Amino acid sequence: MSVTHAPQTADVLARQDPELAEILLGELHRQSSTLQLIAAENFCSPAVLAALGSALANKYAEGYPGARHHGGCEIVDVAERLAVDRAKSLFGAEHANVQSHSGSSAVLAAYAALLRPGDTVLALGLPYGGHLTHGSPANFSGRWFDFVPYGVDAETGLIDHDQVRTLARTHRPKAIVCGSIAYPRHIDYAFFREVADEVGAYLIADAAHPIGLVAGGAAPSPVPYADVVCATTHKVLRGPRGGMILCGGELAERVDRAVFPFTQGGAQMHTIAAKAVAFGEAATPAFAAYAHQVVASARILAAALADEGLVVTTGGTDTHLVTADPGPLGVDGRTARGRLAAAGMVLDCCALPHADTRGLRLGTAAVTTQGMAEKEMERIAALLAGVVRGEVESVRAREEVRDLVGGFPPYPA
Ligand SMILES: *Cc1c(COP(=O)(O)O)cnc(C)c1O
């Protein structure tokens, strides 16, 4: 078995540094032998991994194609132009910046492009699924901007549109952010555009989670509505760990300058090449089928969890993401996550709207890449509930997980 899937380096690494090679194999084994239900994770392809492990990692390339601060960029320039062109065509965007090192860096750059320190920004509050970059006091965003949080309806769990409109009229924000780490439903981008227009605010869509569904035509696109779209490339989109920004031509230069030189240095050309590979993959009919299966599986998973007695936030999902309160099964999210981890089921806790306890957040992006579908979701929900209730002990649950994932190797030999 190859330790990195990058053919030119794998054997060398195993020979030169067996200690580290063993760690890589150990992680590959962990990913293959346990159940990956973290909503933000996926298995990128061997081709993406190969680009990440390529000699492009050696290249310094500050600036943009055709205007670099370093020599010898003529080949990596082609790679970045390809990534940009593929992103533009995949998402129907006038401009794409593919240099952001992460989703958070993309959001930082979007703020840098449009805002000044002290500006007022409206965003989904962190207890309702806002990201750290949406105004957490522990993050630059909460320190440098005046965030006003909107929330979700206590009954339905859906974004409270009336509150968004009222807060926008009251606070006249410079920007409105829509996007979440845990919201399982489609976001009504047309609504947010309308409110932003009414109060003269920029609309920033932080589509880090659903952008892969957008690529596959399984979720509405923010591109026609938002001034700036921030995203990651490593969640449902199944590319390398990194970020991306899409915008109209009129903001292109401001966005590019906000990424480099304002918030970043040299572009990571191996990652940008890997993004190009992922965009190429995401443009295929196979990826569209994948994205639709991700949603179909999440719907089944949500329904099966509800049948087992968990309280599913918003009563279901439109996306890859399911959040649920395991409270009726006798434990809170934190305890449930611990029991599930011992059973080899890897997922996250999340805040539950209008509750003191934490819930569970699951996603179907990774298991769908492995080839699992509706039948396996029902099996996962039953096992999960058994483990959370304490009915299935962890040794037996681990065996069942191994049996389940054994049929779906993420990197078949
Ligand atoms: C994942 C995510 C981010 C951050 O991405 P990183 O690559 O972890 O920095 C930002 N915003 C939202 C909404 C996300 O889901």
Q: pLDDT (tens digit, 9 = 90+) per residue, 358-386?
A: 999 999 999 999 999 999 999 999 999 99
For residue 413, the model assigns a pLDDT of 81
Give the number of the atom of ligand 1 that is nearest the alpha carbon of residue 107: 10
Q: How far is the CA of 210 from the centre of ligand 1 (A)?
A: 11
The angle, 0 to 180 degrees and rounded to 10, between the axes of the packed helices 394-406 and 374-389 is 170
Q: Specify whether 9 is catalytic.
A: no
For residue 9, the model assigns a pLDDT of 58
Place of tokens 């099966």: 304
For residue 1, the model assigns a pLDDT of 41
Q: Across the strands, what pairs with 68?
A: 63
Gap between the Cα atoms of 363 and 388, Å rounded: 18
Domain-wise residue ranges, the chain: 55-282, 285-406
Gap between the Cα atoms of 144 and 344, Å rounded: 40
Per-10-residue mean pLDDT of the chain, 413 residues long, equals: 51 90 94 98 96 96 97 98 98 98 98 98 97 97 98 95 98 98 98 98 98 98 98 98 98 98 98 98 98 98 98 98 97 96 97 90 98 98 97 94 97 88
Active-site position among 59, 68, 86, 235: 235
Quick one: DSSP state of residue 172?
-
Residues with CB under 6 A from ligand 1: 40, 102-104, 107, 131, 133, 179-181, 206, 208-209, 232, 243
Gap between the Cα atoms of 321 and 362, Å rounded: 6
Q: Specify whether 62 is catalytic.
A: yes
Q: What is the pLDDT of residues 331-353, one digit of tens each?
A: 999 999 999 999 999 999 999 98
The CATH topology of domain 285-406 is Aspartate Aminotransferase, domain 1 (3.90.1150)
For residue 11, the model assigns a pLDDT of 80
Q: What is the reported pTM?
A: 0.96
Q: Give, using CA atoms, the residue closest to atom 13 of ligand 1.
A: 180
Gap between the Cα atoms of 314 and 185, Å rounded: 8
Query: Which amino acid is residue 188, in one-letter code?
Result: D
Q: Are 333 and 359 contacting, i.e. CB atoms less than 8 angstroms apart?
A: yes
DSSP track, 182-208: S--SPP-HHHHHHHHHHHT-EEEEE-T
Name the E strands within 200-306: 202-206, 228-232, 243-247
At 35, which helix (H) or strand (E)?
A: strand 35-36
Side-chain half-sphere exposure of 56, counting CA atoms within 13 A: 28
Collapsing DSSP to helix, strand or coil, 402 comes out as: helix
Q: How many residues does the chain have?
A: 413
Of 43, 67, 79, 395, whose CA–CA distance to 234 is shortest? 43
For residue 6, the model assigns a pLDDT of 53
Of 176, 228, 238, whose CA–CA distance to 207 is shortest? 228
Class of domain 55-282: alpha beta
Q: Specify whether 60 is catalytic.
A: yes
Q: Specify whether 396 is catalytic.
A: no
